Amino acid sequence: MIKKVASFAKINLFLYVTGKRKDGYHNLHSLMTQIDLRDDLYIEFAQKELSISCDHPDVPEDESNLAYKAAVLFYQSLKTKVCEEKKGLSIEIIKRIPPGGGLGGGSSNAASVLMALNTYYKTPFSKSELMTLGLKLGADVPFFIFGYPAIARGVGEMLEKVAGLKFYHLVLCDPGVAASTAEVYKNIDFRLTANQKDNIKTGLNVTLRGQEFDVRDQMHNDLEESACRLYPEIKETKEEMAVLLQRKVYMTGSGSSLFALFSARENAEKGFELLLKKWARSKRKVFLSSFI
């Protein structure tokens, strides 16, 4: 039995780093939503062994792959819960989400594998239990299992649904460099992020009232300055995008992907075509997407 699973990307509409933890990680306050840019996973159940393949050269095809780790973790947890014998699984990833772009592709793949296995085994784990499993793999994995636009706090595991998020289309760009999450966090200048702390309560109060929420006035990313300092390509691409599209451009997650929002699909398509034409011979990749 082969099951095709859509594995969507995410963007951070705002991201504040609220402090460093004793365990070395950072506490966040972020608004995230999934977008329709996606990888496709082809999962074949009841195989003799666990295997993974991907059509992208920068994605590992061994036990270090998050989707592979998700399958191992699920089977380990399943065995302790219902005494089920471990079975093999074949996972093929058709990769469209740029790796190392702050779009959560690896975490989304892992979440998709957990949810597919949970369905196949007739839901041995509740959604909450599956999210707890996902957190062992990465801070963004619970969000993809959660399945709604959400305010994320802690390292990203404390999620609160956001109702009424206004729909947008977006033009997304991979500047051709993969940002190291660890390095970006390591180089945060907390003197700069401290100036943004007053905006956090405003953002939280507005987004959780329940009426339609237009995110444009709240958009910010504490990690952008660090990423642009470490990777000049991100800053250069952002500035050029802003000029070409005639609107503000934002970075998602720890980088390196950049995006601009559009209310009208027609305008987003025009911006997408413009960037495609301008950057046809560059290493930059451009995508047309939307909130889901």
The Cα-based distances of 280 to 141, 204, 226, 273, 286 in angstroms read 34, 40, 28, 10, 10
Give the separation between CA 178 and CA 69, rounded to whole angstroms.
22
Spatial neighbors of 83 by CB under 8 A, at least 6 apart, are: none
| Dihedral of the alpha carbons of 37, 42, 45, 47, in degrees to the nearest 10 | -130
Look up tokens 């943004």; give the residue.
196
Residues counted in the chain: 292
Give the separation between CA 10 and CA 289, rounded to whole angstroms.
11
CB 91 within 8 A of CB 51: yes
Of 58, 161, 162, the C-alpha closest to 101 is 58
The Cα-based distances of 87 to 78, 83, 90, 98, 250 in angstroms read 11, 12, 10, 31, 43
3-class secondary structure, 242: helix
Residues annotated catalytic, as ranges: 10, 140
Spatial neighbors of 158 by CB under 8 A, at least 6 apart, are: 152
